Amino acid sequence: MPAFLRLALDENLRTLNGVFLIARGIIPGMKPFPFQDPAAYERWRAQKLRWASDDSLLTPTPLSAEPTVGELQALGERTSKRGFAIYQTHPDSGVDKSWLIRLGQQFGLERLDSNLCADPESITTLKVKASDRPARYIPYSNRSINWHTDGYYNPADQQINALILHCESPAAEGGENGLFDIDLAYIALRDENPDFVAALAHPRAMSIPPNEEAGSRIRDWETGPVFRINPETGRLHMRYTARTRNIVWRDDPTTLEAVAFLQNLLTSGDNGVIRYRLSAGEGVICNNALHCRTGFEDSADQKRLFYRARYFDSLDFSRSRSPRLN
């Protein structure tokens, strides 16, 4: 178990001030509560840390071509507890982009983010591209991608709350993903210094400069908090990137200390980060968990091909039902 989890499980209750977080959908039956309520926060925190120490939740969930209620419930339970889950389909089961869309619908995911490089279905095909618009962006290269949550540059009314990432074909070498639950990031920051989460919840904590193409501005400055509460679900939402270029952090000592602590948390060895290299037919479904990617190399007969679905909706674990996906 990571050191910060071992220490956290043994700590006594502390009275802390912070932002609001609602546990609906995390601990069944628990009502919304403010983070400054020490007893309510500690119950939520203790439960999250217990789940974080349960490695069985990281076992890939088998999904058939037409997932059963039991399969969907298992996938939803693991995602609810860990902030993400890995699923596994048979490579010959006929999974395609339309299947992914229907899978998302079983968890209440309807509003896809049709970003600049998305396909007509609003799913994004991720592979190495040497020309055209996608070539400007790192996800379409074989370079490593630093820690981030998806859509951190989106405006406040278009935040990404859920993500499905599916592997059609892995690279010949490399391309491993790192995954980390945003709830655990919050806990670690708050355990270290309650002022860290207050600083990262500031409405001007992180700013992303405009995006311009051929002299035309396609996105304005986007400024907002790292931590916020989704007004529709009450769940914690995180907007973050570890990039060092084209990002402006609020010029405040506590903010900069919090950013440094978070970066160290994600890159140090004893931190609870999950490392996993997806095989063909496997995928990740998550509440826009923190994630990264190592660099990779394609070969003539094996090229990395992933599908990414990004949603404005949050995962709704109460809606899982027996679907027909093919």
Q: What is the pLDDT of residue 12?
A: 28
Pure H helices in 53-181: 69-82, 97-105
Burial code (b: 16+ CB inside 10 Å, e: under 16) for 184-193 equals bbbbbbbbbe
Question: Structural domains in the chain?
Answer: 59-311 (3.60.130.10)
pLDDT digits (tens, 9 = 90+) for 275-311: 999 999 999 999 999 999 999 999 999 999 999 999 9
Select from 290, 209, 205, 297 the least CA-distant residue to 256: 205
The strand ranges marked E within 204-318 are: 206-208, 211-213, 216-219, 222-224, 227-229, 236-238, 248-249, 274-276, 282-286, 290-293, 296-297, 305-311
Q: What is the pLDDT of residue 202?
A: 97
Residues 6+ apart with CB under 8 A from 54: 81
State both tokens at 90: 């048979």
Residues 6+ apart with CB under 8 A from 37: none
State both tokens at 77: 């339970």
State both tokens at 79: 């995602």
DSSP label of 108: T
DSSP label of 56: G
For residue 291, the SS3 value is strand
- The answer to whether the Cα torsion of 103, 104, 110, 114 is positive or negative is negative
Q: What is the pLDDT of residue 319?
A: 61
Each of the 326 residues of the chain gets a pLDDT tens digit; together they read 444 444 433 332 222 233 322 223 333 333 333 466 788 889 999 999 999 999 999 999 999 999 999 999 999 999 999 999 999 998 778 899 999 999 999 999 999 998 778 888 999 999 998 766 555 678 889 999 999 999 999 999 999 999 999 999 999 999 999 999 999 999 999 999 999 999 999 999 999 998 777 677 777 899 999 999 888 888 899 999 999 888 999 999 999 999 999 999 999 867 789 999 999 999 999 999 999 999 999 999 999 999 999 999 999 987 655 444 54
Q: What is the pLDDT of residue 116?
A: 76
Q: What is the pLDDT of residue 35?
A: 62
